[in-house]
Amino acid sequence: MKLWQKSTDVNKRVETFTIGNDQALDLLLAPYDVLGSLAHITMLESIGLLTADELVILTKELKALYQKAKNNELTIDEGIEDIHSQVELLLTQKLGDVGKKIHSGRSRNDQVLVDLKMYFRAEIEALVGQVEELAQTLLKQSEAYKHVLIPGYTHMQVAMPNSIGMWLGAYAESLSDDLIALRAAYDIINKNPLGSAAGYGSSFPLDRMKTTELLGFEEPNYNVVYAQMTRGKSEVALANAMASVAATLSKFSMDVCMYAGQNFGFISFPDELTTGSSIMPHKKNPDVFELVRGRCNQLVALPNELQLILSNLPSGYHRELQQLKEHLFPGIQTLKQCLDIVEFSISQIKVNEDVINDPRYDYLFTVELVNQLVLDGMPFRDAYKEVGRQVESGDYKSDRNINHTHLGSVGNLANDHIAAKIKREVAKFSFEKVAECFKVLGE
């Protein structure tokens, strides 16, 4: 069954090529497709395109389908093109001609758009939850090991004192900014395209504000041509936000891979979190973080992949837009898996608390001596030259007792400020509003 089917059957090879992997991916949209239909028929009844009785029987059946979709019990039958066709077929089989009325005032174009936007909102909610959880774990471990000094590096050369606490807290704050990127994507996505039909509106007097309210969107995409143009724009916005999170995870994973190596020896993990070598009995490889690094590097490229699909498309609907799902949907799951395994691993991190006492790190403290001389009254340039002279002559002696007090430094990590920022950014999402709208519609 195809919603566009007329008197001619499409060639089987063409059909197979054009559908691709769409049916499998469409099952992820099933609950949202049913919710979109529930909102649409409620609006249709309010403008006189459905009777009150028709609304009652359609609503009852759609709510039953919604529960099946939420429980992953809704499937797409062989020969059915997509989830929209499947839902309409089931309604028609059960209710007869009234089931065919749910498509009035809609095109598959705005139907799939609203499905995608609701799906993206849900996936952003899941990502935000995982980002928040990882950030909290990083801050917890940051507090636990804030006293453990390690080298800080510039140009990959030993530079100045760092700490395990400051290092972990830095990535927690990076994730707090990634939440801002996710919220920007959420704000772009959280607009209702229903009523735009194929991208040029409808002669029916559709109440687009009503479906916007029912589905928990912030506002509609007002211009119907632009509503269709958000297919692609929404995906790229989400991919950019995901790339921001992925870049944080990739950089962090690189640090972990270095710091866990014997040449650094700052951190380690329980044996069961590492892998071995088929030839070297001593090996404890950080495969988890190597794979996170590689997969997240792929995710950093995701926005470019999507942009290339969209690069020469004019306004209006084009079948290439279907391909966006095949890149973005698996990417979402990959990022969720990476966030999960990194949080799991960091919660069990083991720290070498004696790293800083290695003589190779004596020069980490030259700036501390320069600053002390300045505090004692010597001009900074003279203090810099004096410590340089001591280093070159071999007279320099390091003092590992440091006293950093300013905001965000080794002695004042500002983790409470970072935690407050994370909480503030998470609170800006309208997840509860959407959940309440879905509850009213589907239950």
34 lies in the same domain as 49: yes
Do 312 and 418 fall into the same domain?
Answer: yes
User: What is the pLDDT, as a whole number, of residue 325?
Assistant: 94
351 and 373 in a common domain: no
| Residues 430 and 351 placed together within one structural domain of the fold | yes
One-letter amino acid for residue 393 of the chain: S
Measured CA distances, 153 to 255, 259, 263, 356 (Å)? 11, 12, 14, 13
Residues 376, 314 share a domain? no
Residue in 30, 43, 173, 28 with CA at minimum distance from that of residue 106: 43
pLDDT at position 271: 85
Q: What pLDDT was estimated at residue 4?
A: 43
My answer on whether 87 and 166 are in the same domain is no
In this prediction the pTM is 0.92
The verdict on residue 55 lying in a domain is yes
Total tally of structural domains belonging to the chain: 3
pLDDT tens for the chain, residues 1 to 443: 454 455 566 556 655 555 566 677 889 999 999 999 999 999 999 999 999 999 999 999 999 999 999 999 999 998 788 899 999 999 999 999 999 999 999 999 999 999 999 999 999 999 999 999 999 999 999 999 999 999 999 999 999 999 999 999 999 999 999 999 999 999 999 999 999 999 999 999 999 999 999 999 999 999 999 999 999 999 999 999 999 999 999 999 999 999 999 999 999 998 888 776 567 767 677 899 999 999 999 999 999 999 999 999 999 999 899 999 999 999 999 999 999 999 999 999 999 999 999 999 999 999 999 999 999 999 999 999 999 999 999 999 999 999 899 999 999 999 999 999 999 999 999 999 999 999 999 98
Residue 366 and residue 351 in one domain = no
**What CATH code is carried by the domain that includes residue 257?**
1.20.200.10
Q: Are 34 and 70 in a shared domain? A: yes
Q: Are residues 73 and 168 in the same domain?
A: no
Residue 1 pLDDT? 47
399 within a domain of the structure (yes/no) = no
Asked whether residue 214 is assigned to any structural domain, the reply reads no
Write b or e for each residue in 407-424: b if 16 or more Cβ atoms lie within 10 A of its Cβ, otherwise e.
Answer: ebebeebbbeebbebbee
Q: Is position 277 within any domain? A: yes
Check if the beta carbon of residue 199 is closer than 8 Å to that of residue 109.
Answer: yes
Domain that holds residue 231: 117-148+161-195+226-357+410-438
CATH number for the domain harbouring residue 98: 1.10.275.10
The pLDDT tens digits for 296-323 are: 999 999 999 999 999 999 999 998 999 9
Cross-strand partners of 191: 219
One domain, residues 272 and 385: no
Please report whether residue 344 resides in a domain: yes
Contacts 24+ apart (CB under 8 A), 91-99: 91/58, 91/61, 91/62, 91/65, 94/61, 95/57, 95/58, 95/61, 98/54, 98/57, 98/58, 99/58, 99/61
In a domain, 155, yes or no: no
Residue 296 forms part of a structural domain: yes
pLDDT digits (tens, 9 = 90+) for 124-177: 999 999 999 999 999 999 999 999 999 999 999 999 999 999 999 999 999 999
Are 304 and 376 in a shared domain? no
pLDDT at 349: 96
Residue 400 lies in a domain: no
- Identity of residue 70: K
Assess whether 166 and 298 both reside in one domain. Answer: yes
DSSP-derived 3-state class of residue 438: helix
